[in-house]
Structure 1
Amino acid sequence: MPDRLNDDSLADLPEGIRRPAYDRRALKTGIVHLGVGAFHRAHQAVYTDDVLGQDPRWGIVAASLRSPDTYDALQPQDGLYTLSVRSQDGEALRIIGSIRRVIVAPRATEDLLDAMADPQTRIVTLTVTEKGYCHDPATGALNEAHPDVVHDLAYLKTPRSAPGFIVEALRRRRRAGIPPFTVLTCDNLPSNGRTVKRVLTRFAELVDPDLGRFVADQVSCPSTMVDRIVPATSDQDRERIGQALGVEDAWPVVTEPFTQWVIEDRFPQGRPAWEMAGAEFVADVEPYEHMKLRLLNGSHSTLAYLGYLSGYETVADTMADPAFVRLIEGLMDEEVTPTLHMPPGADLSAYKRALIARFKNPALKHRTWQIAMDGSQKLPQRLLGTVRDRLQGGASIARLSLGVAAWMRYVTGIDEKGAPIDVRDPMATRLRELADRAGPSADALAGALFAVREIFGDDLPKDPRFTGAVTANLARLYERGAKRAVAEFAAE
């Protein structure tokens, strides 16, 4: 298949393939996005694509802060790629054109800073994952000892981190008299807008106290809630989609029909009319954020660790086991839902039913190993926030503690058959060293991991209701294995 998807090949695509409904040559850059991964391309870039026909000022310059892989795939395609929406009913293909160009930050640092400092750029969006904010997940504060933070404070003009790029661009805009852009995070952080504002303000203070006050007073960081399941693209996906298009697409993205974006409406320099594409603008995102982080993400992580240990490759495989369905339904209904406080009209029962159906979708090959990545960064907001609320109310954490115990068992790096686990986590080396010293003892392993303050804070390790429940479940996983432990939980 010699031909490549690009602007020239658009007109020759088969009928039934949806294409951009606007003149891409007329696009201006209004958004710079940091972290151009699959999720952004299946979510925010799609919402933007939907509204560019009405307003072409909001084209996207997308940057990778680390790997050149996305650039190498998309730049020869003029930024175009295929969105594949898959369900039990089949597959719908659509070409997304909202990304005007791609930058690899380490190769073109000044190019990216110029784009962010350009007066036309009025929003900087981020999907850099939890670890990309260089913060302490337990406190939400900037980790001032983080190697990238140390580097960026010493070399302001050649940053490596997302906070470093944002603060340097804001510094240049302030010096030039250009109003600051809005910073819109789309990552799963607790109170994500406020967390990012705290991180950026502190970083700016360390550069210059006046710059810190400017960021604190002038930079808007709305909170958001994003929701769409986006598995990693496989070679089989590329082959299938290429056959349907009649041209090669080096990096399509595959996703589910469901999508949701809830945003606090605080954009001093303007924004796209994303509500025309289905986004919901609200005064306070926090109830929706808790709903999604605790019900979807908390369940996802629990499924990932227990499912992987049970030998299940994907979430759909895991949810084909009725015991896992009962476990997750119990987790949602009995332990998570009582901690949520939703505004009038929000239908939690319908949302939970939809989650179960989404988890069961066999058309999505969402690997448990993929979801299990970066657990040290995810655990505090996905499970431990709920744990704290439950303990404060004197309520049970039986299923929540099983999820935490499964994470502990997973990060030992050895599965139930003695085979190695490829643990991808910024703290993987430290966690593995702790596990190796503890050995296959639930008491020793739990005690060692509880001492990781960045994850568990100072309070949970001192609460015997938490430590006792997690240690007991970890012992159960060692003695019975994950699959049997889940079956026993489901039967209780």
Structure 2
Amino acid sequence: MMKSLNRQNHPRPQRPVRILQFGEGNFLRAFVDDFISQLNEKTDFNGSVCVVQPRPHGRVKSLMEQDGLYTLLLEGKKEGRATREMRIIDVIEQGIDPYTDYPALLQRAADPQCRVIISNTTEAGIAYTDELVTLDVCPQSFPGKVLAVLKHRFQTFNGTLESGMDLVCCELIERNGDTLKEIVCRKAREQGEPQAFLNWIENANRFYNTLVDRIVPGYPKAQAAALEDQLGCHDAYLVKGEIYHSWVIQGDPALRSVLPLDQLNQNIIFTDDLTPYRDRKVAILNGTHTAMVPLGLLGGLETVKETVEDPQIRRFLEAFLKEEVWPSLNFSESELVTFTHDVFERFENPDIRHELMSISLNSIAKFNTRDLPAMRHYYDTHKALAPRACFSLAALIVLLGQRKSDGTPLISESPEVLACWQDWDENQPQATVDALIQLPLWEGQLASMDNLAERLVQIIHSIATLGLRDALKKEENA
């Protein structure tokens, strides 16, 4: 029987715990903990992580059966070449299940060397719940646990400014750090915490908004046996991610004095405003995803990789970005060229099979947030309709009209959106187009574009009579 990965077969130095990490899932282990490992290797950081299980049913206990050790596999394209990296991550020193050992969490909160909280508790984790936070019973919510940690730390160090913490949120919501701070402060006020404690939360602690990006498929089941043969031991916590990464951190630059990520020479950006970076990611990466889904599926393709490697659709997407999306973003052309190049390398990753159907869910709402801003910018700038955004939207309308063999919609959408297709006829699509344009989610933005409905109907007729490929060719030659 193969031995398991642990300290006996992979010794590691003992380092002081400098980070309290809420979340033991794949993303944090393949992203944040990788960078902490690199800090130990390349700088004088010399720190380790205490992982806190954010939910009652988690995996901290089994992770610590491997002494917190696990193998990270990164695969993808880098500078045009297939790249593969594999390394053992050894930064997790302690794991705490606060539901069974709440005092251990409070004890770590009182550690003067533990200055940073990092979290990824999913989008649902940073949410307000009506609960009384005490130092006797573990709070259920993540913000409740943060309030308890801060309260115990405040009491332990008599509210000194130096005892404050840096809280770095990685949850995929806008203003993640600001939102956590608002909820923590609200809960503290509502349960009558003293004003001195409220002032300390505000003045001694720093909450950071961040934007994180790395695709992490998780446990590589198909590769696990071969990888373990290579490692020479069993690793139940193998985790696979893509080579690409991006981490944008907004807030007080003082974070770099306790977490010197800027010394890694990685794609980690400190800024006083991450909005442009979020807009760029949403428009170029996510917006291209949404634009390609109907083209790929109607064109007989199944995956993102197949779609971006299809010459006809690739030309369409590159022109869509360069002529309609880039002008809406506040970056230099060279920055946009580099970012777009990286995005397409990620799309072409041979080690990740990204199904178009899997990203087709709620495509109308996604078009609204991802593609409409650039479409509107083009219209306001040129006093004309954005041709490729219009084609993609028209193709999406056709796709949403398709049905499975049992008569149910091929693509999952909200009932409010699908109601627009109740009398769908691709040869007479006017009623669907009119209903779609009037949906409240657009806030009147589509309805105010002159001749949009007429143009969408024209493209739908073209796709219905010629097929996607020839309709696209017709648009290219127009």
User: Same fold judged by TM-score > 0.5?
Assistant: yes
Deviates more, 1:378-387 or 1:256-265: 378-387
**Cα separation, 2, equivalents of 1:95 and 1:365:** 25
1:100-111 to 2 correspondence within 5 Å? 100-104=93-97, 108=101, 111=104
Q: CA deviation at 1:369?
A: 5.9
**Cα separation, 1, equivalents of 2:333 and 2:223:** 38
Q: CA deviation at 1:330?
A: 3.6
Q: Of residues 349, 361, 368 in structure 2, which corresponds to 1:361?
A: 349
Q: Of residues 144, 168, 176 in structure 2, which corresponds to 1:184?
A: 168
Q: CA deviation at 1:359?
A: 0.7
Q: CA deviation at 1:462?
A: 6.8
Residue 245 of structure 1 aligns with which residue? 231
Residue 246 of structure 2 aligns with which residue? 260
Q: Of residues 436, 440, 447 in structure 2, which corresponds to 1:464?
A: 447
**Cα separation, 1, equivalents of 2:450 and 2:30:** 39
Residue 428 of structure 2 aligns with which residue? none
Q: For structure 1, list consecutive stretches of 5 or more residues without a partner in the other structure.
A: 12-22, 135-148
TM-score between both structures, scaled by the size of structure 2: 0.74
- Partner SS for 1:8: coil
**Cα separation, 1, equivalents of 2:180 and 2:293:** 27
Instruction: Give the aligned residue type for 1:99.
Output: I
Q: Of residues 83, 88, 96 in structure 2, which corresponds to 1:95?
A: 88
**Cα separation, 2, equivalents of 1:32 and 1:490:** 55
1:211-254 Cα offsets, whole Å, 9 max, x none, are 65554444312333333232343410322322321222213222
Instruction: Give the aligned residue type for 2:219.
Output: T
Q: CA deviation at 1:89?
A: 3.2
1:165 counterpart = 2:152? no
Deviates more, 1:241-250 or 1:183-192: 183-192
Q: CA deviation at 1:41?
A: 1.9
- CA separation of 1:190 and 1:154: change in aligned 2, threshold 3 A: closer
CA contact (8 A) 2:83 2:243 kept: no
Q: For structure 2, list consecutive stretches of 5 or more residues without a partner in the other structure.
A: 425-430
Q: Percent identity?
A: 23
- CA separation of 1:214 and 1:69: change in aligned 2, threshold 3 A: closer
**Cα separation, 1, equivalents of 2:323 and 2:281:** 16
Q: CA deviation at 1:50?
A: 0.8
Residue 143 of structure 1 aligns with which residue? none
Deviates more, 1:116-125 or 1:187-196: 187-196
CA contact (8 A) 1:130 1:378 kept: no
Q: Of residues 205, 210, 214 in structure 2, which corresponds to 1:219?
A: 205
Q: CA deviation at 1:341?
A: 1.3
Residue 129 of structure 2 aligns with which residue? 150
Residue 274 of structure 1 aligns with which residue? 261
1:123 counterpart = 2:116? yes
Q: Of residues 315, 323, 339 in structure 1, which corresponds to 2:328?
A: 339
**Cα separation, 2, equivalents of 1:73 and 1:84:** 20
1:373-418 Cα offsets, whole Å, 9 max, x none, are 7989977764566567667656756656787899999999x96555
Q: CA deviation at 1:95?
A: 0.8
Q: Of residues 30, 44, 48 in structure 2, which corresponds to 1:59?
A: 48
CA contact (8 A) 1:405 1:470 kept: no
- CA separation of 1:188 and 1:294: change in aligned 2, threshold 3 A: farther
1:299 counterpart = 2:288? yes
Aligned length: 452
**Cα separation, 2, equivalents of 1:77 and 1:470:** 60
Q: CA deviation at 1:112?
A: 4.1
**Cα separation, 2, equivalents of 1:109 and 1:312:** 51
- Structure with the larger RCO, 1 or 2 (CA within 8 Å, 6+ apart): 1
CA contact (8 A) 1:109 1:159 kept: no
